[in-house]
Amino acid sequence: MTTTTAPSRASKRTMVMTLLVVLLADAMDLIDATIANVAAPSLAADLGAGPGLITWLGVSYALALGSLLVLGGRIGDRFGQRRTFLAGLTGFVLASAAAGLAAGPGMLVGARVAQGAFGALLIPQGMAIITSTFPKDALRTAFGLFGPMLGVFAVAGPLLGGVLIDADLFGLAWRPIFLINIVVGGVALALAFRFLPTVEADRTTRIDLVASGLLAGSLFGFLFGLITGAEHGWGALAVGTTAAGVVLFAVFCRRQARSDQPLLARSLLRNRGFTSGLVMGLLVFAVFSGLMYVISLFFQLGLGYSPTTTSLTLIPLTAGIMGGSGISTALVARLGRKLVAGGLLTTLAGTGLLLLVVNVAGAEATWWHNAVATVVVGLGAGICFSTIFTFALGDVEPHEAGAASGSLSAVQQVANGIGSATVTSVFLAASAGGGTTTAMTTTLLVVGGVVLACLAAVPLLPRTAALEN
């Protein structure tokens, strides 16, 4: 194996195959993050599980990935990104096999946690390897491919899930949605062993396992209590685990305050624009990831759609996200942070349209009714996704940009877990008391309230985005 330490030493063939391997890894991550949106009701019914499994199916993956993402990046720096990538990819494939062969809800959720944990080892390394080994012109080309391809993967997740479940391949019902990773991951592993370059490790990098454990434990405790409370009532278990999560988070914050290498630099926390963008991004990503999950549940549990029909009905939502991302790229320099406000207002308009469809058309709603409402929601979300974190970095010093970007990526993944837990808990709790229409109405009102709060905080963001500095 040849060690590549300089960009000029990466051959054209190596660069092409490296890019393919990283895209395959990102595809598995993004598809597995979204495929549960369509698969959840079928999974729960097949395993004889309650609504708790529907919630934990998405939460377990996103929570493990988000809480361990920064740690995964540092492990790659210290022990070598190629080695860490291969370990993460191997573990992800094995965890996917365990999920596909799960005999019960506990084994399935455990496998999803393992998928997220190995994903946290896998995902940070690919971009780091590309950045370290590609020359600048090839790097621009590679980055230009990522946006469109990630959009394709976002569409592919729910669509693939719906088709595979309804196809019932070999009588395996939902299991192929996870077992397919054995094939995709096997190809990626073979190519990675052959072509993935090696970047020199930095043995001086410190890894704070205690801090990472405290963060993961605090998030798990808080969300476990929330989900348990919503499903079974606020008894001793729900209250105790929620309180434990809060205590662990306080201990985590205390440790970070005393650490000379905190997971998030203290200077960043003193930056008002960055912290405002961080909190706003957390809220926006959380409510939207939860809303996308709930829309899928409503289509299946409320309107009686099949998994395939549900996945097709979700395409306008994803198309809207991709369109919103394109709009933000074209207008961010001209409109500044007003574009964030525009994205939030568009999301509110889409939420209002969806509220109208749910309460007026109800079960008689056509594909076009749902498409118009969800595409507007997607447009607003796409604008917000592409701009909020860019503005959060607007006042960040150049030497802190890498750490800030990594922290924002981790927050985005944590937000997906929090959103899946909180928003679906609201939906399922309201559904138990008043039916799916009442539950969807309640959920949309909660989402609208959070978006309004974010709209009021737009003036706290930096005036210019990072790309303008």
Domain CATH code at residue 164: 1.20.1250.20
Q: What's the length of the chain? A: 469
Same-domain check for residues 296 and 182 = no
pLDDT attached to residue 355: 93
Pair 345, 463: CB distance under 8 Å: no
Same-domain check for residues 241 and 103 = no
What's the one-letter identity of residue 56? W
Same-domain check for residues 443 and 351 = yes
Same-domain check for residues 146 and 279 = no
Residue 49's SS3 state is: coil
Same-domain check for residues 196 and 291 = no
Same-domain check for residues 140 and 171 = yes
d(CA 29, CA 315): 19
With a CB cutoff of 8 Å and minimum separation 6, the contacts of 88 are 72, 118, 119, 120, 121, 122, 123, 125
Domain ends where: 161, 189, 206? 206
Burial class (CB in 10 A: 0-12, 13-18, 19+), 248: buried
Question: Tell me: the pLDDT tens digits for 314-335?
Answer: 889 888 988 888 888 788 888 8
Q: Is the dihedral of CA 361, 315, 284, 122 positive or negative?
A: positive
d(CA 427, CA 416): 16
d(CA 431, CA 170): 34
Same-domain check for residues 438 and 299 = yes
Buried b (16+ CB within 10 A) or exposed e, 367-398: eebbbebbbbbbbbbbbbbbbbbbbbbbbbee
Same-domain check for residues 251 and 284 = no
Range of the structural domain that residue 252 is part of: 209-260
Same-domain check for residues 380 and 420 = yes
pLDDT attached to residue 235: 85
pLDDT attached to residue 447: 93
pLDDT attached to residue 399: 66
pLDDT attached to residue 275: 87
Residues of the chain with pLDDT under 70: 1-10, 139-140, 143-152, 154-155, 398-403, 405-406, 465-469
pLDDT attached to residue 5: 42
Distances (CA, A) of 170 to 36, 41, 98, 165, 412: 20, 20, 18, 11, 37
User: Which is nearest to 339 in space by CA: 175, 214, 465?
Assistant: 465
Same-domain check for residues 228 and 302 = no
Domain ends where: 260, 276, 300? 260
Pair 272, 460: CB distance under 8 Å: yes
The pTM of this model reads 0.79
pLDDT attached to residue 6: 41
Same-domain check for residues 102 and 220 = no
Q: Is the dihedral of CA 438, 308, 20, 137 positive or negative?
A: negative
- Domain count across the chain: 3
With a CB cutoff of 8 Å and minimum separation 6, the contacts of 180 are 160, 164
Same-domain check for residues 338 and 434 = yes
pLDDT attached to residue 3: 43
